[in-house]
Structure 1
C-alpha cells in the first residue's frame, strides 16, 4: 500500500516478530540520536534546571501516549500516531521557541528556520540510518508528523518544509489535499496542545510561578491574560475568552492548583487535576469527531478532528498561563537575550570556520553543498542539533564565553 512505502526501497525483513511498517518506524525514532538529544533540550524551563520539570523528551513521550490513546479510540493505527507524537519535536533547536526565533533570524539567506520544517529534515536527511533518506520512514509516518504541510508563505510564521527538501516533501504528500493535515497529524497536533497546556501549567504550579488566587481576585489580571491568549494562541475574542476563563477558574477539578505547597499530598492532588483535564480535552475531541463522522475506523483523509470551541479556548487559556507567568516572568528576559546571542554567534563562528570547524557529520555536507545558501543551511543544521548544555559549552570553547 502507498502509505507503507519508503522513499528508498528496503528489502523485506523476516525477524519472526511480524512487526508492521509503522512499528518499525516507531522503533527507528526511539533509537535515533535526535530523539535522545531531546532529553537536554528546553520545553519551557531550561533543560536541567529542575529534575521535576519537563524536557522536550518527556514532553514528546507524553504527546505520543496521549496521541496513541486518542487515535486508537478514533480507529487510527495506534503505532502511526505514536510515531508522530514521538517525532514531532525532533527538529527543535536549543532553548525552545526562543532558539527557533534566533535561528530564523540568522537563516534568512537560506529560507529561515522553523522547528517543524527541521523535523522533516532530520527524519529524511540528517539522522543516520539509510544513506540519502535519513530514517527512511514510511510515507504515512512522515505525513503524520507534518503539522504545517506547506512551504513558507507570506504572513505565516509556521511552515513545514524548506525549499531544498521539496523533493521528499512532494513524495510524502503525493495524493494528499493541498495544505491539509491527515487525521493522524491532527490527532498529534491536538495531543501536543493538550500536553503542552496542561503539563506546562503543572510545571509552573510546582515551580511556584503560577497561582490561581490572583486570577480569581483580579478582573484586570484576568483581562490581561485573555489579551495575551488572544494575541498568541487563539482567534477568539478577549470577551469570549474571559467567559471561558471564569468557568475554568470555577472548575472544582482545578482546586489543587490553588493551594499547592509541594508536599506529597499536594503533588498527588496536582497530578490528579492534570489527569482530569487531559481526559476531558481528549474525550471532548473524540466524542465530537465521532458525532460528526460516525464510529469509524477513521484514518488518513477520511475525517478531520473536531475540537469543540470551548475546549479549544480552555486549552489556549492554559497555554497562556504558562506564557504569561513562566516564559514572561520577571527576570527571564536577560537569559533569553543571552540564548539568542549564543546561537547567533555559533552560526557566524561555525560558518567562518567551515568546513574544518564543523563536526564530522556536517563537514562533508558543507563541502558538497552547491552554493552559499546550502552551506549556511548545513551550519544551521549543526547548531539546531545541539542540546542546550552543548550549545553553551561550544560557544564558550569557540568564543571564550
Structure 2
C-alpha cells in the first residue's frame, strides 16, 4: 500500500508534450524505460567514475554505478512506501550528463566553458533528456513527466532560494535555466521523497564502491581503513564471526556490512522524519522546506570521515592525479580545435552549427559533443586530431 506522501502516477503533473497514456505501464514506468533505452544511458558503459577506462574492466563505470544506485534506491523506496518506478527513473538518469573521465572531465569542461556560462553535469542531464536525445517523431528529448524532470533537477535540494536567486555561487546553470523558462520545475522547493531517496542512494553506492575499487587498485590497504568509522567495526564483526576467512571474502563481507549500515540508517532516520512531518500528500513533502530523507547525524559524521580518507588516498592519489592531468590535457586540446573548426564535428551536427549565430551558442554545441563522448572515444579523437597519445608513458 503506497504511503500518503508517495507520488501517485495517476496524479502526475504531465509531460511538456501531451501523450496518450499506456494501457499497461504507469507514466513513471515509461519514464524509466525511456531512460534505459536512450543513447546517453548506453554510453555510460564506457564512462568511468575515478579511473580512466584503460585501467581495467573491473572498476565501476557510470553505468554500473547507476545500476547500483537504482537498486539501492528501489529498496529504500519500497520500504518507505514510495513509488519505486519514479525513484528508479531518477536514479538511473542522475548521471546521464557526466562527461568522459568522471569529475575530472567535468572540471576541465567547466573551466573551458567559463566564458560561456560554465558546465554542470546535472543541468546537462536535463539538456539530454529534454533536447539532445532525438528519436521520437513528435518531440526532441524523452518527454519525461514533470515529476521525473523535477527529480533530476532537484534531487540534491532546491536550486534557487525564495528570491529566485541561485543557492550555489554563480549563475543558474545555462541548460537548466533554458529548460526551466519553458517548463517551470519549481526550482525553489525540495523534490519529492522519491527523488530524495535517489540522491542518498547515490551517496551510499559511491561510498561503498569507492572503498572497494580503491582497495582493488592498490591505492590503499585494509590496514589503512581499519580506523575509519563503520569500516573498522565491520571488519571486526567479520573476523569474530568468520576467523581465518580468505582475504577476498573477508573484504566483501566487511564492505557489505558498511553498505547495510548506511541503508539501515537512512530507513530508520527517514521513517522518523516522515512520521514527524505528517505529510498528507507528495506536494506537502515539497513544501516542507527541509528534506525528509536523510542520514542520522552520527552516520553523516561517519560518512564525512570516510569521504575525507578517500579524497586524500584515492581521488588525490599520485597515480590518479597523473591520469587527471593527462585527460585534462586531452580535453583542453579538443575544445579549441572544435571551436576553431566546427567542421570537425560529425555531419549530423552541421545544421545546428550553421544555426549557431553566437560564439556562446557554438560553445554550447561543442560542450554537448565533448560531454557525450566516452573515455575511449575522447582519447581516440584527441589522438586522431593531434597525433599525440596522452596516455602513453612519457607523453
What is the TM-score of this pair, normalised by structure 2?
0.83
Secondary structure at 1:331's aligned position in 2? helix
Q: Is the 8 A contact 2:159 2:167 kept in 1?
A: no
* Alignment match of 2:16 (pick from 1, 7, 23): 7
- Contact residue 71 and residue 187 of structure 1 kept, 8 A: yes
1:393 aligns with 2:380: yes
User: Can you list the C-alpha shifts for 1:100-119, whole angstroms capped at 9, x where unaligned?
Assistant: 11000110122101111111
Asked if residue 275 in structure 1 is aligned to residue 256 in structure 2, the reply is yes
Q: State the 1:300 CA deviation.
A: 5.7
In structure 2, C-alpha distance between the alignment counterparts of 1:254 and 1:374, rounded to whole Å: 56
The answer on 1:80 being equivalent to 2:83 is no
Q: Which runs of 5+ in 2 are unaligned?
A: 1-9, 286-290, 389-395
SS in 1 for 2:294: coil
Q: Retained in 1: the 8 A contact 2:353–2:365?
A: yes
Query: Which moves more between the two structures, 55-64 or 44-53?
Result: 44-53
| 8 A contact 1:285–1:306 mirrored in 2 | yes
Match of 1:286 in 2: 267
Pairwise CA distance, 1:96: 0.6
Give 1:211 shift. Answer: 2.0
Q: Whole-Å Cα distance in 2 between the matches of residues 339 and 7 of structure 1?
A: 38
Q: Is 2:203 aligned against 1:193?
A: yes
Alignment partner, residue 4 of structure 2? none
Shift of 1:264: 9.8
2:212 aligns with one of 187, 202, 208: 202
Distance 2:102 2:380 in 1: 17
Distance 1:351 1:314, change over 3 A: same
How far off is 1:154 after superposition? 7.5
Task: Give how far 1:280 is off.
Answer: 1.5
Which of 168, 183, 198 pairs up with 1:156? 168
Query: What SS class does the counterpart of residue 318 from structure 2 fall into?
Result: coil
Answering whether residue 141 of structure 2 is matched by residue 134 of structure 1, we say yes
Segments of 5+ residues of structure 1 without an aligned counterpart are 217-221, 223-244, 258-262
User: What's the TM-score, normalizing by structure 1?
Assistant: 0.82
Kindly tell me: are residues 46 and 301 of structure 1, through their superposed partners in 2, closer, same or farther at Cα, counting changes over 3 Å?
A: farther
Which residue of structure 2 lines up, in the alignment, with residue 319 of structure 1?
A: 307
Q: Which residue of the other structure, out of 179, 195, 214, is the alignment partner of 1:168?
A: 179
- What displacement does 1:123 show? 1.0
1:145 aligns with 2:152: yes
Distance in 1, matches of 2:75 and 2:254, equals 19
Matched residue SS, 1:373: helix
Q: 1:40 touches 1:55 (CA, 8 Å); kept in 2?
A: yes
Aligned partners of 1:319, 1:298: CA distance in 2, in Å? Answer: 35
Distance 2:181 2:101 in 1: 30
- Deviation of residue 13 (structure 1)? 4.2
Number of aligned residue pairs: give it.
362
CA distance in 2, matches of 1:153, 1:97: 25
2:298 alignment partner in structure 1: 310
TM-superposition CA deviations, 1:341-399 (whole Å, max 9, x none): 11121111011111x22123432222223422111100000000000010000011111
Aligned to 1:379: 366
Q: 1:198 to 1:296 in 2, by over 3 A?
A: farther
3-state DSSP of counterpart to 1:145: helix
1:4-30 residue CA offsets vs partner (Å, 9 max, x unmatched): 51111223444xxx1111111111111
Give the whole-Å Cα distance in 1 for the aligned partners of 2:311 and 2:362. 35
Cross-structure match for 1:114? 120
Matched, 1:336 2:321: no
Distance (Å, rounded) in 2 between the aligned partners of 1:201 and 1:254: 17
